[in-house]
Amino acid sequence: MYRIDILTLFDQTVGDMMNESILGRAQERDLIRIEAHQIRDYTLNKQKQVDNYPYGGGRGAVMQADPLFRCWEHAKALGEGPVRTIYLSPCGKTFTEADARRLKEEYNHLILVCGHYEGIDERFIEECVDEEISLGDFVLTGGELPAMCVADAVARLVPGVLADPECFEDESHWNGMLEYPQYSRPEEWHGRKVPSILLSGHHANIAKWRRKQSILRTRDRRPDLYAKLDLSSKADQKLLREIAEEERQRLETASDPAEPDSQA
């Protein structure tokens, strides 16, 4: 069983979210276990205080090391096998699909630490945290949302959580590309029709169309990802030539002046 423990000040909210839908059903089948732990339960003062003023002055408060450590010790004892402690922090490395795969493949147990206020005592980070992860170059009021995102991204890769590996292998970022467009019923909606190739039943042509759309979408929306793609295969080179020819024809059509109306 793959285990994820989340250290948080909002254990009920996080726990409820992680027990819904696909992840909830996977926990019922004992494929994964995701548990949220209330950090306040591990403080020694009657007020359940987990923060205090920062040394050196400044605004706000800092989460104290000792309640975090006690909570972390408890969570660590619950798992088996390789464990990884992650602090969700705007100072961390930006999380990617490759990180989700790494964490799933190399560890059996994740401990996700949710910070608040001005952050957490650096001494806890030095002693207990293995890496820091961020969702991007922005700041949130707490680490719960990033922790749930990381937990979801990793847990869905555990065998059996999704119906088939294709459920994630065809999706954006798995192979460095963005996913192709998806369509469902009805065949026409607001005057917009489903591409005819998807109605053909010709699986090889559909796969080719989807690959081409993934290439185009990655190139147009994420040129940074596109620059890293290996498109050297004969099949991809053929698709690139087709794309270039189709775009050339569209440019020529757009630049041709309209024929003058015939005069009576």
Q: Measured on CA atoms in the order 209, 214, 220, 226, is the torsion positive or negative? A: negative
239 is in an annotated binding site: no
User: Does 136 count as an annotated binding residue?
Assistant: yes
Residues 230, 137, 52, 129, Cα dihedral to 10°: 10
58 is in an annotated binding site: no
> How many CB atoms are closer than 10 A to CB 86?
24
24 is in an annotated binding site: no
- By residue count, the chain amounts to 264
Residue 115 annotated as lining a ligand binding site: yes
- H/E element, 6: strand 2-8
138 is in an annotated binding site: yes
Task: Please check if 178 is assigned to a binding site.
Answer: no
Q: Residue 37 in contact with residue 74, Cβ under 8 Å?
A: yes
38/138 Cα distance (integer angstroms): 25
Q: Determine if residue 160 is left, alpha or beta; phi over 0 gives left, psi from -120 to 50 gives alpha, anything else beta.
A: left
Annotated binding site for S-adenosyl-L-methionine: 115, 135-140
Annotated binding site: 115, 135-140
